[in-house]
Structure 1
């Protein structure tokens, strides 16, 4: 997988800065953390240890490579002459939910994330881990979900119109009333997914894995997804 970020896509650091109202991306970085580490060590120690070990990140791919998830992280301010200082504690799920549209979220660990109503139009979620995530009424229109794991996720009334789901995993996903119009489902695993009332106009299921899926429960022609 190419680790270069397209110039048109915002990085995880970019959207964290937006969420925190910061305008200068130059002196900042992200540090993945969790409630236990924060309770034991505090934000200052975590920021300085991350600086000493090089665990300062800019992209979701870098965070995933360091075995971190996106639930909680620190936005730290860097100095050319002194230690890193914590600037903000960031709720990653809320940040992705509000600012994820068109962003680079490749490889993101969003297991169990509350992304209900998220606006993720055109986001790159290639190889993202969304197992068990709540994506109720989320807008993933045109998103890149190649190789993403959405098994057991809730996509009730979500929009996947024009999304690329090549080789993604949608096994046992709740896809009731989902809008799949024009989506790409090449070698997509959908075993046990619930497609009741799904809008599947111009969707080719020919190479998808559909064991246990009742495609006839979908409404291909006239259902209107709300």
Structure 2
């Protein structure tokens, strides 16, 4: 089934969010003009505004950078089209006039969107305990993880469950066929090294509520 205009653009937003990027940063990483995926490029002039579509080349480059197949992107785009989102603005812009009303709520043009993780059978939340990931994650913080995300890579923050039943939040520092190396943000906690056979499951952290 073909993607609609809204699904395609929401899919690119979701793809960027999965990489920990803004749409502009994703475009830059793909070797494109940083404004290629901006909201201002999604509609042209006219009344009503004329929908604009990303080129096949720009979409392919973005998928290559994210190491996501076209089929996986299509599924992501369809899920993202029904996901909730909130306004997004860079901190450097937030002090300028025109972005907030008198009550402090977002208003005007220039806002992007941040997609919030949608509910799904493979997604669940966990409450952080301990201090191994402070100051990034503190005791009592709630993280949302996704068991369906299998492309875990170096630098990802994850929740790991060992075959012995230990559950921990860590950062992936190295991932090979024979080693899973996990680091803590808090230097007081030493790194952990596991063999893949000792890992029951590993899920990427999508969101944290602090």
TM over 0.5: no
Q: Which has the higher contact order (CA 8 A, sep 6+)?
A: 2
Higher share in helix: 2
Higher share in strand: 2
TM-score normalised by L of structure 2:
0.28
